[in-house]
Amino acid sequence: MRTLLLSLLLSVSAGAVANGHLPGEKGDHPHVNRLAWMTGGWSGELGPDTVLEENWLAPVGGTIAAVVRMTSPAGTAMVEIVHIEEVDNTLELHIQQWDSGFKARSAAQKMRLSALGETSVSFSAASPGGLKKLGYALVNNEFQIRITTADDQDMVLKLARK
């Protein structure tokens, strides 16, 4: 009987995870808990004197968020907020950047989930802005930010755990 119960529990749990859900999650849609692999601090050089940092909070209450900062010896060049939440049975990302002095570079951009893997996620633009696509992946302990700009320039930024 114990073996039967354990088999049933493992079968249900495996099916839930395969459908993008962890045990205890409700609904037939993706959940931000699947993005827990993003949690923590990441940092990398964008050039000889420029550093990009991303600090992701753990997923809680249907959201996950990051504060991003780009710095150089001259100071902070940019701060960005990335906010991902469960909306209308999918995941929605909002992103906005500010220059020094907390001057908005542009309005926040909305993006919708386009793919979700075990350690990867990607979004496509749902409102006008500087990005056509934005994705994140964890590849061999390297945090990759995959970007396609509005004018079709592709780039991959590679960050290491802080």
User: What pLDDT is recorded for position 26?
Assistant: 58
Q: Kindly indicate the confidence band of residue 29, based on its pLDDT and cuts at 50, 70 and 90.
A: confident
Distance CA(72)–CA(114), nearest Å, equals: 33
The pLDDT tens digits of the residues spanning 123-143 come to 999 999 999 999 999 999 999
- Output 47 or 133, whichever has higher pLDDT: 133
Q: What is the pTM of this model?
A: 0.82
Query: How crowded is residue 7: how many other Cβ atoms within 10 Å of its Cβ?
Result: 10
By CB neighbour count within 10 A (0-12 exposed, 13-18 middle, 19+ buried), where does 35 fall? buried
What is the share, in percent, of the chain residues with pLDDT greater than 70?
83
User: What pLDDT is recorded for position 28?
Assistant: 67
Q: Domains of the chain by range and CATH?
A: 32-161 (2.40.128.20)
Q: Which residue has the tokens 């919708």?
A: 112
Region of 19 please: left (phi>0), alpha (psi -120 to 50) or beta: alpha
**Which H or E run contains 109?**
strand 109-116
